[in-house]
Amino acid sequence: MFMGEYQHTIDTKGRLIIPAKFRHELGNKFVMTRGMDGCLFGYPMSEWQEVQSKINVLPVSKKDARYFTRFFFSAAVECEFDKQGRINIPGILRDYAKIQKKCVVVGVSNRFEIWSDSRWLDFSTDAEKNFNEIAENMIDF
């Protein structure tokens, strides 16, 4: 399980240190792609296979399904850690998430997310203001 919030910096070559707790959960390889809300999603290989299976049953006859599938998979990359626990985030993904220097790595149960620090601040400020209302609208846990 991925949880927690970690402030990090990406270097000029696009390398980012992934928190040690996350590296342990991810193993040797994982998949990263475009996520929702302008962040990046990172999945362990086993979880990626489940996501892929769910997407593969979307009807190719539906335009939204084709668009989502293309956008989601076209930027997906298999990542491996270097000896310092860093990954290289390709330019297409850094551009999508607007990650320049400071970023936030967030655990979200079965995946982790990478956010630019400014987008994360905007999101978390909004979520904090609306948390009670959002919680009330969700199914009871």
> Domain spanning 2-137: which CATH class is it, in words?
alpha beta
> C-alpha distances in angstroms, 73 versus 34, 67, 69, 86?
8, 10, 6, 22
Chain segment 63-100, per-residue pLDDT in tens: 999 999 999 999 999 999 999 999 999 999 999 999 99
Count of CB atoms situated within 10 Å of the CB of 134: 10
Alpha carbon distance 99, 3 (integer Å): 21
Residue 136 pLDDT grade (very low, low, confident, very high; cuts 50, 70, 90): confident
- The residue with tokens 């009807």 is 59
The domain locations on the chain are 2-137
How far apart CA 27 and CA 71 sit, in angstroms, is 26
In the block, tokens 């302008």 appear at 38
pTM for this prediction: 0.93
How many residues in the chain?
141
